[in-house]
Amino acid sequence: MAIIIGIDPGSRMTGYGIIHQTGDKLEYLDAGTIKTETREMPERLKRIFNGVTRITQHYLKYGNEPIHTAVEQVFMAENPDSALKLGQARGAAIAALVALDLEVSEYTARQIKQAVCGYGAAGKEQVQEMVCRILKLEVTPQQDAADGLACAICHAHSSHSMNKLLMNTALRGRSTSKKKGRWRLSEEDITNLR
């Protein structure tokens, strides 16, 4: 069980999505956007940092479960100025998470779309639709919020797959006893997986 916070950074609007993961079951908790609404870049970065901090602290304060965070990586835009601003916004979001001693996982837009839609070049509308289906939402979230949720879903799928891989590796390579053709984990192996 874990709470996953996904962040879709933007210099004017940063989307966030928060889900609860229990095994392979995902449940919607919250989503929205942090709007900067100012021309000055330093003020925008401050608002992103403070917004991500406030949202994350809420779940740290009231939750007894581990919190995982995921942030979309910067893609290379045609306009270098836009790419630089996006990188700064992303840096402000990551700094807010790291300042709270949280580990940050990073995913490309293609990885996120692949995890949510099964197609790495899916459009924004497809991502919104699949986020609604996966989380059983009756109301379609705004695009940036849907992208934040998609980032969280990508992390959930990625971490769930990694846990299965680790368990399978432990079952095959680290087993110390065999009974009726089946491999068993030793107590030490089980402890190391936790």
Which are the catalytic amino acids? 8, 72, 144
Q: Which of 9, 6, 103 is nearest to 49 (CA)?
A: 9
Whole-angstrom CA distances from 188 to 24, 167, 185 are 26, 13, 8
Q: Which residues contact 136 (CB under 8 A, 6 or more apart)?
A: 28
Q: 84 by DSSP, 3-state: which?
A: helix
How many CB atoms neighbour CB 144 within 10 A?
23
What is the sign, positive or negative, of the torsion defined by CA atoms of 11, 60, 162, 164?
A: negative
Query: In this structure, what DSSP letter does residue 141 have?
Result: P
